[in-house]
Chains A and B, each alone.
Chain A
Amino acid sequence: MTDILRPSRRQLIAGSAAALLVPTFARAQAPAAPGSAVIDVNRARTEPIPIAIPALTGEGDAAQLGQNIAGVITNDLGRCGLFRPIDPAAFINAGATGEVPNFQNWKVIGAQALVTGRVESQGGQQVRVEFRLWDVLPGTQIQGTAYTTTLTNWRRIGHIISDVIYERLLGESGYFDTRIVYIAGSGPRSRRVKRLAIMDQDGENNRFLTDGSFLALTPRFHPTRDEIAFMSYLNNKPRVYLFNLGNGQQRLLGNFDGITLSPRFAPDGNSVIMAQTNASGGSAIMTVGLNGGGSRRLTDGSAIDVSPCYSPDGTQITFNSDRGGDQQLYVMTADGGNVRRISFGQGRYATPVWSPRGDLIAYTRFGGDTFSIGVMRPDGSGERILSESYYCEGPTFAPNGRVIMFWRETRARDARGDGFSARLYSIDITGFNERAVTTPTDASDPAWSPLGA
């Protein structure tokens, strides 16, 4: 189990980045302020930005590392759908040394942006990775940064560079230096093994966190700590647990009668909001303090109220309830007041999640033979279906609110369950660029980590 433990991951690289000066012989230009997009994101949606990402240069082993890091960046930017990495076969004299590129060589192959960099061993396990982002047409440096870290962090360096490129060119923060916690499924459906698992957002560095001896469901990331809230059937008692990614320990959250389920952390990380079943057949929304705070019930539990999720500012809660007869989406204030229904389309609605931007709620909608993933504004207006299939469920937002991940199941074709599968997918909130996320086993219940977690 020790392999899975990565203490203080959030601090491994932060603080070791240094700004690189624009080379003196390059035309000096003040870097664009963060948020002022060099390239408009709306244009990029229909016309991805052509970007050249040659291998970062280096001597000996560092050369291979430079190629690998460029590969991570290429994969990140290509998969997000807003960039078009140019095939390296088209590059002209890409390995030329010197700090300032020959922009003409990149202009003629249609590159709008160019990434260059260099990897140097610092002795032992330490490496220094330097990268520069160039605006090819005017021939100016947009960004220059150097990172010092241990060798084993090379993938993270690639993701961090991808996030810098994304932010500088699109004017909004990225989501590449993130992880996905999810449920890995295996075995026959009637005795399904479901394990807590975690991986980088691109599917790499997959690790199983629980051994499959009990069902694990619905994991969610803590906003600032390396901690996961999830539902566990440990000892045949289905309850919400907290899993510490630092030491691999899990602990029961509170001591409640009935089942506790559908946990999510409050935006400030000081409490968990979840549901608790009761003897009358309903379930109530409640909050539980994490720092010695008590619990507080927010709904009366006369209906099934589940799947609560806070707005990013913590003032409101969206949740799922059958109080009106069948499953619909509701919004209420953080103290449980002013409950109002927001879903009025055809079918039933479930699993509402609030975008980190605050502007949208994503959900599962279903009826008959079709399940859908959709988004609507928090007042219920502007409903848009992003993806439909035989079965899909459980949207989770990337930390920038731009991409949603969910899972899809295929229909069993026989009584043995052959043909059944469960897989993760991601899709842009505009409904384009749907992509499968590769996992070593069946996968469900994805939850996106905060940026840099």
Chain B
Amino acid sequence: MNIKILGAFAAVALLAACATPPTAATSGSGATVATAGVVPGSQEDLVKNVGDRVFYAFNKSQLSSAAHATLDKQAAWLKQYMQNNVQVAGNCDDRGTEEYNIALGQRRANAARDYLVAKGVAGSRITTISYGKDRPTAMGDNEQAWAQNRNAITSVR
């Protein structure tokens, strides 16, 4: 849990001011650069060196090219660390209604899961869940915060 919170804070601090969805580059520092002290194949490795999340436009579940790039790295990482199973959690901003957002979050999680499977990750290694708008990363109420919160977050299970 602490690790995930750390990752969330990092993503907020690095966010550039923009109305478009944040790019994958804002939430990870690149797969090839190992961070000192991070255990390879760990959740922290995924967050810091791969990128644990992809972002979506308002009320959408289509994957952007930036999301594809992040998921490509996740797929490569998952093939490297075959012992890791993951959960993909879909999330929404809070400018929508609760029940619909649960289904929308699930649709987002499915989109990310389907992409990972298409890239060769066994579907049996991936579970999905949706938290709707109930587990926002950013706690503010502005375009930047909402863009952060429209995501699918991959975590090691």
Interface residues of A (CB under 8 A from B): 188-192, 194, 215, 217-218, 231, 233, 236, 238, 258-259, 261-262, 275, 277, 279-283, 304, 306-307, 320, 322, 326-327, 350-351, 364, 366, 391, 393-394, 409, 411-417, 420, 444-445
The residue among B8, B110, B134 with the most chain A CB atoms within 10 A of its own CB is B134
B11 CB, min distance to chain A CBs, angstroms:
12
Residues in B99-140 with C-beta less than 8 Å from chain A:
99-100, 102-104, 106-107, 110-111, 129-131, 134-140
Say yes or no: B97 contacts A281, CB within 8 Å: no
**Alpha-carbon distance A194/B97, docked complex (angstroms):** 16
A415-B95 in contact (CB<8A): no
| A406 vs B43: C-alpha distance when bound (angstroms) | 40
Tell me the complex Cα distance, A445–B133, Å: 14
Q: How far is the CB of A238 from chain B (nearest CB, A)?
A: 7
Complex Cα–Cα for A388 and B128 (A):
35
Which of B96, B140, B145 has most chain A Cβ within 10 Å?
A: B140
Q: Are A277 and B59 in contact (CB under 8 A)?
A: no
Name A189's contact: one of B59, B61, B111, B136 (CB within 8 Å): B136
Closest to B135 in A: A190
Tell which of B12, B59, B141 touches A420, judged by Cβ atoms closer than 8 Å. B141
* A351, B130: Cβ atoms closer than 8 Å: no
Interface string of B65-106 (1 = CB under 8 A from A): 000000000000000000000000000001111111011101
A445 and B98 contact, CB distance less than 8 A: yes
Other A-B pairs, 16, CB within 8 Å; known A217-B102, A282-B107: A190-B136, A192-B135, A194-B134, A259-B103, A259-B106, A261-B102, A262-B102, A277-B107, A281-B61, A281-B107, A307-B100, A327-B97, A327-B100, A412-B145, A415-B140, A417-B140
In the complex, chain B residues whose CB is within 8 Å of the CB of A414:
140
Known: A259-B130, A279-B110, A326-B59. A394 touches B139 (CB 8 A): no
What chain A residues lie within 8 Å of B141 (beta carbons)? 411-413, 420
Complex alpha-carbon distance, A394 and B103, angstroms: 16
B98 near A192 with CB under 8 A, answer: no
Q: Which B residues are in CB contact (< 8 Å) with A420?
A: 139, 141
Q: Produce 1/0 per residue, B137-156, CB < 8 A to A.
A: 11111000100000000000
What per-residue 1/0 map shows which CB atoms of B12-28 lie under 8 Å from chain A?
Answer: 10000000000000000
Chain B residues near A191 (CB, 8 Å)?
Answer: 135
Contact partners of A445 in chain B: CB under 8 A: 98
Partner of B130, one of A277, A327, A393: A277
Q: Which of B96, B99, B145 has the most CB of A within 10 A?
A: B99
The answer to whether A281 touches B129, judged by C-beta atoms less than 8 angstroms apart, is no
Given contacts A215-B134, A417-B140, A304 and B103 within 8 Å (CB-CB): yes
Cα A188 to Cα B95 in complex, Å, equals 18
Partner of A306, one of B99, B134, B137: B99
Which chain B residue lies CB-closest to A305? B103
Alpha-carbon distance A282/B137, docked complex (angstroms): 24
Chain B residues with CB below 8 A from A394, complex form: 97-98
> Is B98 touching A217 in the complex (CB atoms < 8 A)?
yes
Q: What's the minimum C-beta distance from B133 to chain A, rounded to whole angstroms?
A: 10
State A391–B94 Cα separation when bound (angstroms).
Answer: 9
Chain B residue nearest to A367 (CB atoms) is B95
Q: What is the count of residue pairs linking A and B with beta-carbon distances less than 8 angstroms?
A: 113
Decide: A283 and B103 in contact? CB cutoff 8 A.
Answer: yes
Please measure, in the bound complex, the distance between the C-alpha atom of A409 and the C-alpha atom of B136, giving whole angstroms.
15
Contact A236 B129 (CB under 8 A): yes
Interfacial chain A residues near B8, Cβ < 8 Å: 190
Q: Which residues of B contact A322 (CB under 8 A)?
A: 100
22 A-B pairs (CB sep. < 8 Å): A190-B5, A190-B138, A190-B139, A191-B135, A215-B134, A218-B98, A218-B99, A233-B131, A258-B106, A259-B106, A261-B103, A262-B99, A262-B102, A275-B99, A277-B106, A282-B103, A306-B99, A322-B100, A350-B100, A366-B95, A412-B140, A415-B138
Q: For B100, give its contact among A231, A279, A304, A416 (CB under 8 Å).
A: A304
Residues of A within 8 Å of B107, CB to CB, are 277, 281-282, 304
The reply to whether A275 and B103 contact each other, CB–CB distance below 8 Å, is yes
Contact between chains at A306 and B138 (CB < 8 Å): no
Known A-B contacts A190-B8, A238-B130, A282-B107; the reply to A306 vs B100 at CB < 8 A is yes
Q: How far, in whole Å, are A184 and B110 apart by their CA atoms in the complex?
A: 30
Task: Please tell me if the beta carbons of B99 and A350 are within 8 angstroms of each other in the complex.
Answer: yes
- B137 A190 Cβ-Cβ under 8 A: yes
CA separation between A351 and B101, bound complex, in Å?
12
* In the complex, chain B residues whose CB is within 8 Å of the CB of A194: 134
Distance in Å: Cβ of A228 to nearest Cβ of chain B: 16
Rounded to whole angstroms, the CA-CA distance of A236 and B106 in the bound complex is 14
Cα A189 to Cα B133 in complex, Å, equals 10
Most buried by B among A277, A307, A322, A444: A277
Q: How far is the CA of A343 from the CA of B71 in the complex (A)?
A: 38
Complex Cα distance, B141 from A412, in Å, reads: 5
A366 to B134, CA, bound (A): 19
Docked-complex contact A416 and B139, CB < 8 angstroms = yes
B135 smallest CB distance to A (angstroms): 7
7 smallest CB-CB distances across A and B, nearest first, come from A417-B139, A281-B107, A350-B97, A262-B99, A412-B141, A189-B139, A304-B103
